[in-house]
């Protein structure tokens, strides 16, 4: 019994010693000083001169890292929801195929400009695009050649003998209802690059004098968007010119409220027979108008005269803002709609129906392709005094045709003579408000209707298709976000936070440490 008791006591004693040894080792490890910190304390913080030198070294390293990172020209992080400061895949695809040297000079811009950062991303996509920030002192030749005023900002885009100058105001647009600044920098830069690199630029003419929808009045936003898509846009007073210009890529006709003159009618028909293309927009009308000449143009494509009436929806999923007049059409697959046909983002306001005379299509050598339709739950109302939301007895039920492409063969190809076929295309929509500057309504949206979802994509893709620019048929970035630009005072504050605050923290830490050291 004694032996067993002694053994047990020895084990306990041995266990105590081991625990004491471990505790001692742990204490020794905890007391073991950090060599790097000890070196700093003993050699660099021993007196004020060396401390100052250490601070200068830290600041120099900080500045060197910043300079090095800046030289890498890394793409800035973009935390905006719509990636306003990052190039879209569409822009990258468009510019990467350019095989010409393009120089972009940002005159008077600072290196930290967001627009300059955005432009530098083009060089990463295509090395032939060179972006550089210059000033009047470093490049007086550019300032003199392009007439950029002293103290102002300008962007010069050069490609061989072609060039274009943009001002800082060209990179933004303004919402007249909210007074907000909207950035269109990427669209403008991309279109300008393509413009100077292109030998042919589509020219879009808007027929004026016959409609209440006027390019420079209630379609200003569309005018801007078209200009940003590498197009030249003009209005056409056909009575003064006497014809549709030969350089017209697409003629846009908006809801006629009076008949075409004979001069205009003959000019448009000659344009069609030469293979010209037309975009026709026709909103609902309240009275049946006697537009003989207008209807003769439509008849050439197999389209019947428009009837007085409006399409309304009964399906809540096919309308917006709870209004049966604001309908969401069912888009059909086509080159124009291929990127948006599966969405429900197009909104039409006060649409009417397109009546096609199918029996005359073959007679007119026209092939019809549907682009947009109203649902089976829709109906056509001709009594505008009836405010009931439901369908009434005798009202025509859907579906209805809202958009179509009509391709007319003017002349067949001749293999013997080598003559090519001549065709004329008309893209027609039974709606006009959806591409205007008007708001949807006061309660639902303060933005122009054209900015709603994919409205702008539908119209811009239609024009791109008619001008044979299928590479421009895309979904475009939504720029309906306010651009923040720091003032001089705000910029100074930001720089103080970035540079002065870290240095101040370091100095305060050293001063506190020195005081504690002296007290000891």
Of the ranges 345-349, 442-446, 452-456, the best mean pLDDT one: 345-349
Which range has the worst mean pLDDT, 33-47, 60-74, 165-179, 255-269? 33-47
Task: Round to whole Å and give the CA distance between 291 and 280.
Answer: 15
Top-confidence residue, 253 or 287 = 253
Task: Round to whole Å and give the CA distance between 286 and 265.
Answer: 24
The CATH classification number of 81-201 equals: 3.40.30.10
Ramachandran assignment for 453, one of left (phi > 0), alpha (psi -120 to 50 degrees), beta (any other):
left
Task: Round to whole Å and give the CA distance between 369 and 428.
Answer: 11
> pTM for the full model?
0.68
Measured between alpha carbons, how far is residue 8 from residues 5, 21, 282 in Å? 5, 20, 105
> Residues of the chain with pLDDT > 70: what percent?
75
**Mean of the pLDDT values across residues 418-422?**
88
The pLDDT, as a whole number, for residue 344 is 75
Are the C-beta atoms of residues 208 and 257 closer than 8 Å to each other?
Answer: no
Are the C-beta atoms of residues 125 and 98 closer than 8 Å to each other?
Answer: no
- What's the whole-number average pLDDT of the chain? 82
Answer whether residue 480 shows pLDDT above 50. no
Are the C-beta atoms of residues 289 and 317 closer than 8 Å to each other?
Answer: no
Are the C-beta atoms of residues 154 and 116 closer than 8 Å to each other?
Answer: no
**Mean of the pLDDT values across residues 501-511?**
66
Which range has the worst mean pLDDT, 23-32, 95-104, 331-340, 370-379? 23-32
Top-confidence residue, 417 or 395 = 395
The residue length of the chain stands at 520
Compute the Cα dihedral for 187, 188, 190, 194 and give only its sign: positive
- 3-class secondary structure per residue, 128-166: CEEEEEECCCCCHHHHHHHCCCCCCCEEEEEECCEEEEE
Name residue, tokens 């096609």: 356
Helix 48-71, helix 501-519: angle, nearest 10:
160
The pLDDT, as a whole number, for residue 485 is 39
**Mean of the pLDDT values across residues 274-300?**
95
Which range has the worst mean pLDDT, 132-136, 141-145, 363-367? 141-145
Answer whether residue 463 shows pLDDT above 80. yes
The pLDDT, as a whole number, for residue 484 is 35
Task: Round to whole Å and give the CA distance between 216 and 52.
Answer: 65
The pLDDT, as a whole number, for residue 181 is 77
The pLDDT, as a whole number, for residue 473 is 79
In 3-state terms, what secondary structure has residue 321? coil
Task: Round to whole Å and give the CA distance between 321 and 31.
Answer: 72
Which range has the worst mean pLDDT, 282-296, 300-314, 478-492? 478-492
The pLDDT, as a whole number, for residue 111 is 87
Q: How many CB atoms lie within 10 A of CB 507?
A: 13
Among 313, 266, 257, 246, which residue's Cα sits nearest to residue 287?
A: 257
Please give the angle made by the CA atoms of 378, 381 and 384, to the nearest 5 degrees.
Answer: 140
Task: Round to whole Å and give the CA distance between 46 and 26.
Answer: 30
Using omega within 30 degrees of 0 as the cis cutoff, is the peptide bond preceding 252 cis?
no
Answer whether residue 295 shows pLDDT above 60. yes
Q: How many CB atoms lie within 10 A of CB 226?
A: 23
Fold held by 203-468 = Rossmann fold (3.40.50)
Which range has the worst mean pLDDT, 112-126, 168-182, 255-269, 451-465? 168-182
**Mean of the pLDDT values across residues 99-116?**
92
Top-confidence residue, 302 or 60 = 302
The pLDDT, as a whole number, for residue 479 is 44
The pLDDT, as a whole number, for residue 16 is 59
**Mean of the pLDDT values across residues 429-441?**
91
**Mean of the pLDDT values across residues 209-214?**
95
Q: What is the DSSP string of 77-93?
A: P--STT-TTS--HHHHH
Compute the Cα dihedral for 441, 447, 449, 453 and give only its sign: negative
Task: Round to whole Å and give the CA distance between 435 and 222.
Answer: 7
The pLDDT, as a whole number, for residue 381 is 96
Top-confidence residue, 442 or 234 = 234
Among 291, 273, 271, 269, which residue's Cα sits nearest to residue 282?
A: 291
Q: What is the number of alpha carbons within 13 Å of residue 232 lying toward its C-beta?
A: 11
């Amino acid at each position: 019994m004694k032996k067993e008791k002694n053994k047990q006591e020895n084990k306990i004693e041995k266990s105590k010693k081991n625990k004491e040894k471990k505790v001692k080792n742990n204490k020794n490890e905890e007391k073991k000083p950090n060599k790097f910190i000890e070196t700093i304390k003993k050699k660099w913080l021993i007196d004020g001169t060396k401390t100052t030198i250490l601070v200068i070294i830290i600041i120099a390293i900080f500045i060197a890292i910043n300079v090095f990172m800046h030289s890498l020209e890394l793409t800035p992080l973009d935390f905006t929801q719509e990636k306003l400061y990052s190039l879209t895949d569409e822009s990258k695809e468009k510019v990467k195929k350019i095989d010409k040297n393009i120089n972009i000079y940002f005159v008077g811009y600072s290196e930290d400009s967001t627009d300059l950062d955005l432009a530098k991303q083009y060089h990463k996509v295509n090395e032939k695009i060179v972006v550089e920030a210059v000033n009047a002192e470093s490049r007086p030749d550019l300032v003199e050649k392009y007439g950029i005023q002293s103290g102002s900002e300008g962007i010069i885009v050069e490609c061989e003998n072609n060039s274009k100058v943009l001002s800082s105001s060209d990179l933004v647009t303004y919402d007249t209802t909210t007074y907000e600044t909207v950035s269109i920098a990427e669209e403008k830069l991309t279109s300008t690059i393509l413009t100077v690199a292109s030998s042919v630029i589509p020219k879009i003419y808007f027929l004026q004098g016959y409609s209440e929808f006027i390019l420079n009045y209630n379609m200003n936003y569309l005018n801007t968007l078209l200009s940003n898509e590498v197009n030249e846009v003009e209005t056409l007073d056909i009575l003064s010119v006497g014809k549709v210009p030969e350089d017209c890529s697409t003629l846009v006709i908006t809801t006629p409220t009076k008949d075409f003159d004979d001069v205009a009618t003959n000019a448009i028909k000659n344009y069609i027979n030469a293979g010209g293309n037309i975009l026709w927009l026709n909103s609902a009308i309240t009275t049946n108008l006697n537009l003989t000449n207008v209807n003769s143009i439509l008849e050439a494509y197999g389209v019947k005269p428009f009837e007085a009436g409006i399409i309304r929806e009964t399906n809540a999923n096919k309308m917006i803002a709870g209004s049966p007049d604001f309908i969401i059409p069912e888009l059909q697959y086509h080159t124009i709609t291929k990127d948006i046909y599966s969405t429900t983002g197009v909104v039409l306001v006060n649409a009417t129906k397109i009546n096609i005379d199918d029996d005359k299509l073959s007679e007119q050598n026209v092939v019809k392709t549907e682009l947009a339709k109203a649902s089976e739950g829709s109906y056509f109302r001709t009594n505008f005094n009836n405010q009931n939301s439901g369908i009434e007895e005798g009202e025509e039920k859907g579906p209805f045709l809202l958009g179509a492409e009509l391709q007319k063969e003017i002349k067949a190809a001749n293999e013997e003579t080598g003559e090519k076929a001549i065709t004329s295309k008309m893209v027609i929509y039974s709606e006009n408000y959806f591409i205007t500057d008007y708001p949807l309504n006061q309660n639902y949206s303060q933005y122009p209707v054209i900015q709603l979802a994919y409205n702008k994509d539908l119209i811009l893709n239609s024009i791109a298709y008619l001008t044979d620019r299928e590479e421009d048929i895309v979904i475009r970035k939504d720029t309906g976000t306010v651009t923040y630009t720091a003032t001089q005072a705000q910029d100074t504050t930001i720089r103080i936070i970035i540079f002065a605050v870290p240095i101040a923290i370091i100095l305060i830490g050293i001063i506190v440490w020195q005081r504690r050291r002296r007290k000891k």
